[in-house]
Structure formats: structure tokens, C-alpha cells
Structure 1
Amino acid sequence: MNNSIRLLLVEDNDADARIIQFHLKACSEIRVSVDHVGTLSDAIAATHDHGYDVLIVDMGLPDCSGLANVTRLREAAPTATIIVLTADDDDTDALEAIRHGAQEYLSKQRLRGPLLTRAIRHSITRQQHLLTAQSQAMTDALTGIGNRRAFEREMDRRIHEYQRHDVPFCLTIFDIDHFKKINDQWGHDVGDKTLRVLSESLYNEVRATDMVTRLGGEEFAVIFVATQLAEALKVSHRARAKIGERCGARIHDDMQLTISGGVAEVAPGDDLRTLINRADEALYVAKNSGRDRCLAHDGTLICGEISETCAT
């Protein structure tokens, strides 16, 4: 921890805030830069503007109190280390705070410089271990991209954002054509290489804000953020064409690799399953009408271009 730790102190009692800041500045083991706010609303705004490493929050704030402070700060700053301060010494509250996303719980009655320093150091370490474990749980071991769990979490987040703020997004499900034949003809090592090359190629064809995941087997998904159906279909067509042109030779001299895709846009009333079902239906038609193509489901029709009527 040689770099300065960016810390936000959320404490409405100015006297307590001065004591905590004194202990932090007096500490020689860690370097800390401290910002101070007195309400939860100001803390949430500050976390959006600055990337804090550590949040120290009083459990009793004027605009929010108790475990809701921890829950709302965790939502606002998913990767930050959270340390809770309280006026009492209740172990039950401490356990509940940790269950709600805090890394440490300190009583103001026992707060001293060395204790605060150790709490910060150990809490950062615990949070780093937690984030590493979460990342591993969300990563496909073969390809290094997100797995189905990561896909479902991001889809839930995007659906929630659409419902609250009307931000559109699209989903494309891609499937490798004749993947079983690849395994049968060249073996599973080549099959695994195919999956890795395809994931890398899809990742390179979309924006940094979009998300590429492996759903399982030879099936991949791309979540196109803030994108409508026509644009998502266009990008999916382009990715499919480039993969067909370039990827086969990277895997094996004699391979011709093609993929098919089904595209759908979120609509009112959608949940995870209904949106996946529409993309799957478009993919099914693409597979059964010659493969090596992308089709879109507009809610009623399945089309190769948004302006045309291709299939019902």
C-alpha cells in the first residue's frame, strides 16, 4: 500500500470527524487523502465523481440510518472498501453490517489511531480478495471472458436501467456453425482454440461499453448498451462477416469458420427470459435457413434487415 489511499469520511458530527481525521493524518503506516461529507446523499454524489478506495460511514446520518447506509453505499461504490462507525459496541449490528457489504465495523468508543490503521489495511485486503473471488466466479475459464453468471447479472442490470430510465439495449446470441464437426474432425484442442479465437474476435468487434460473454458450449452473447435494434443487427452482421473471413485460418489451415446470430431489443414488460427467448427464436431461424447469417426479432417478425419482412 505505497500509494495514497483515497478515503471518504461520511460523518455528520463535526467533532467526531475532526478526531478521525486527526488519527488518519497522524498515522505513519499508510498515506491517506481524506474528503469529508455529512450526509448519505452527499456521499453517494461524491462516489460518482471520485473513485474512492475506502468509505468510512457513520451508521446514524441525518438523511439515512442503520444498515440502509451500507446497502446504498455498496450500490453506489461496488468495489470500494466500506468501514462502518457506530456509537455503541453491538456485535449483532457488526455482523449485519458485514452481511450487507461492509468489510469492518468499529465502535467510536474504542477508536484509536493504530486500531483505525489496522482496520483500513485489513479491510482493503479483504475487499481485494473478495473482488478477486467474484471476478473468478464471473469468468469463463477457457476464454477469459464473462460466463453465464456474469451475463445474467449484466442483463438484470440493463433491464433495471431500461425500466427506470428508458435506456435501450440489445442482445445478440451467437452460435458456432457445425461446432461438433470441428471437434470430430480436428479434435477438442482445436475446438477449444476455436472458442478462444471467437471470443477474442467478438470482443474486438464491439465497443468497450458492450459486453461479450460465453453462455456455454459454443454459444456466446453480446449485450449492446444504449443501442437500438437496427444498429445492433448491423454490428452483428459485420462481426459475423469478419469472423468468417479471418478466423478460420487462425485456428487451422483447412478450416472455414462461420457463426449465426439472433438479435433482439429490450421492450416494455421484458424480463431476462423473454428477451433471451426472442434472440433464441431469431437464432433458430438463422440456423435453419442456411446458417452464416444474423437475423433480428422485432417483437413480431424475424428479419435480416429491420425494414424487410423475412419470416414470421
Structure 2
Amino acid sequence: MSSLSKFKKVAGFSAFAFAAMTAANSVNAATWRYAHEEYEGDVQDVFAYDFKEHIEDNSDHTVQVYRFGELGESDDIMGQTQAGILQFVNQSPGFTGSLIPEAQIFFIPYLMPTDMDTVIEFFRESEAINKMFPELYAENGLKLLQMYPEGEMVVTANEPITEPADFKNKKIRVMTNPLLAETYNAFGATATPLPWGEVYGALQTNMIQGQENPIFWIESGGLYEVSPHLTFTSHGWFTTAMMANLDFYEGLSDEDQKLIQDAADYAFEKIIVHIDGLADEALEKIKAASDEVTVTRLDDEQIEAFKARAPQVEEKFIEMTGESGEELLNQFKEDLKEVQKD
């Protein structure tokens, strides 16, 4: 055989092998769909793109991210995830609470601390977060990959709030979450569940007189434009969770499962850096954009007046969730005691 013939034969074999390898890779590669509840550049969006970055840098898979409204509201994207249309979803316990009642624990006021270092340590070390919650989510067809904080909750209203009496005759928008409604009713308001897409218009037309959210969301959603009086009540942090469809996850190879968990851990480490100082930046943007905004930070005495109403919300949580909720709450408190002691 001539050298030229040998070359053609080798070249042909190499081309065939390359084509076969490429075909095999394309079969193994997948496009995974991931939806969250926020806008471009918001915390959940940053987390999603950090997750996407790790997946795509370390595999042939790709991740398609869908933001708020592109596939519907929060309930819609959860339904699509449970049906297997989406592989991943990021949803706060504020909405997941109707599916997993125990997830409402984050809405017991004054249960969580508000200093960031303690909050982050809690999410890292908590047995309730890292062992008990995954089991509860799995019972509902979801693989809990990561829970993480987004920011301290801030109340906006049509006038400053300094005491429970200021909530009288005010309709305060809450997520479709029974325990959060209980919290604002305990504070003296009339809790009014509304989907996010209706909040701005309802504030603008005085159908509701206030709402709560982390400060970055108040800024990015323009809520201060129609609800300009901001009150820092120190009653809790906004928490969210990233999940996968459980059947999808369990059908993956060990290698891909590890890839996904590593990507979720990578995104967690990136997001806790991202949220450090984010609230202050957002508040400065709000102040620069509007002369009507007022900022009230409750002092210890004022906080105590609200905190005194928290036990009735805790009792309601146990009533809603039974023995499993009480066990989770006890572990939650133990975990918090440990991180606060350290």
C-alpha cells in the first residue's frame, strides 16, 4: 500500500472516529431548563447564572435560564418542574409553603437573626436546613439542592410604620402563604395575598397599602415609587431554595449528580459574596431616585412591641404542620443557638 493510500485510510478512520465521538458526546450532552422568580441581575438570577457557568465549564451540558414572567408566575414554574418540563426551579418557601407546609418556618417573625454572618453560618451548618428539609422536599418529588438567604425583609407602606397600631386598617400584600398572612394579621394589618405581577398596580391604586420584600427587590421592582415609606423591622430574612425534579435527578449518572451538586455549592459561595453590601447599594439607589422615600429603622423598644406578637404565629405554624413541624422548629432553634454561641 502506498504512503498516500495509508494516509487516506488513517485519515478516513480518524474522521470516522471523530464523528462517532462527537455523536456520542451530543447524545450524552443535554440542555437543562432552569426557571426562577426574579428579574435580570437580581439575586436568584445571579445564582442561576453562576450555576449555569459551573455546569457549562465542567461538562458538555448547557443550561437555559428563564426569568420571572417568561414561563408564568411562581406557581406555574413549580408545576412545570414537578411535571418534568423544567429540570430546575428556584422558588422561595413563601410559595412552596402551600406544597410543603413546613417550609413556612422562615415566616415565623423574629426566629431568624438579621446579622449576615450569623445567617450565613446558619445556612452552612444547620441540620434542619441540610438534613431535614431535603427529606421534606423529596416527599413532593423535588431534590433540594441549595437553600440560601437573599436579604433582610423590609416593609414598605403609604406612611411610616413604627408600632403595630400603625398597621391598623392597612392591607399589606403577602405571598400566597398562610403563615405569612398570620404574621401580618398578628402585627395588626389585614394580610392580603397577591401574586407578584399584581403588586405594583395594587399599590398604585391603593387597593393595598403596603408589602414586604428584600430591599434589592424593592429597588429593582420600583416598589418605592408607589410605596415610599420603608421600615426595617428586623423580623426576618428572605430565604429561597433551588431544586431539581427528583425523577430527573435520580435518573442521572453519579457523575452528573455530583456535577449538579458542585454547581449548586459553587453558586452558593458566589451568592453570599454578591449579597454582602447589596442592601446598602439598593437603598442608596432608592434614595437617589426619589425625594419622597423615608427610611425608618425600629429601635429595640419598638421591635419588642412587634416581637411580643410572634409567639401566636409560632403556635399557628405548629397547628398547621403538626409533629413534623414541631420537630423541625425545635431543631431550627437548636441550630440557631449553636451558631449564635459560636
TM-score by length of 2: 0.24
Higher relative contact order, chain-length normalized (CA < 8 Å, sep 6+): 2
TM-score by length of 1: 0.26
The structure carrying a bigger helix percent of its residues is 2
